[in-house]
Amino acid sequence: MAEEKEKRGIWSRRDFFTRLGWGGFGIFGLGTLLAFVRSAFPRVLFQPPSTFKAGFVTDYAVGEVSEKFKQDQRVWIVREETGVYAVFAKCTHLGCTPRWLAAENKFKCPCHGSGFFKSGLHFEGPAPRPLDRFKVIIGGDGQLIVDKSKVFKMGPSGEPDEQYPESILKA
């Protein structure tokens, strides 16, 4: 009997597989415990506020399109004789960001060539309707406040000014 213990080495095959099984069970249990603890801390999507201050009405020249907020907020601020409005810088075809071409006085989508007038009205390309607008109000400090939670979705026909007169801030 003493000779058998010397021949078999440190662990027998049975000891090795027993320890391997218990090690796997322990790793599985630890993974389950970590998953349970992780579930106590849910993932939360933090979104930026839906409103932002766009400055004073006098900061914008009449007849001009301001690209100041195009990069950060995806909004163009347009001031006309009739008032101020905020155009959503997202093509209504596939969601690309159109470019403002001041020389041609139009928005042009680089993806599929949709064209929009300054008012957002669609006049060429595959876009099904005009560009959307956001609500603009004047805050207590006299600055323009653009509310991106209030979207004026334009229909396929008709001027945006006529579809949603409330999309223009009379200033």
- pLDDT tens digits, residue range 41-99? 888 877 778 888 888 888 888 888 888 888 888 899 999 888 898 998 888 888 888 88
Whether the per-residue pLDDT at 152 is higher than 90: the answer is no
Whether the per-residue pLDDT at 171 is higher than 80: the answer is no
Same domain, 80 and 129: yes
Give the chain's domain count: 2
Q: Which segments of the chain are extended strands (E)?
A: 51-53, 65-66, 75-79, 84-88, 99-101, 106-108, 115-117, 122-124, 133-138, 144-152
CA-based max dimension of the chain: 107
List the structure tokens of 37. 């603890």
8 part of a folded domain = yes
Same domain, 17 and 63: no
Q: Look at residue 94 in the predicted model and tell me its pLDDT.
A: 85
**Of residues 47 and 35, which shows the higher confidence score?**
35
Q: Name the band, by pLDDT with cuts 50, 70 and 90, for residue 121.
A: confident
Q: Look at residue 3 in the predicted model and tell me its pLDDT.
A: 52
Highest mean pLDDT among 26-30, 59-63, 115-119, 160-164: 26-30
Global model pTM greater than 0.75: no
Same domain, 28 and 55: no
Same domain, 78 and 154: yes
44 part of a folded domain = no
Domain that holds residue 23: 2-39
Same domain, 91 and 10: no
Range list of H helices, 2-137: 2-7, 13-39, 70-73
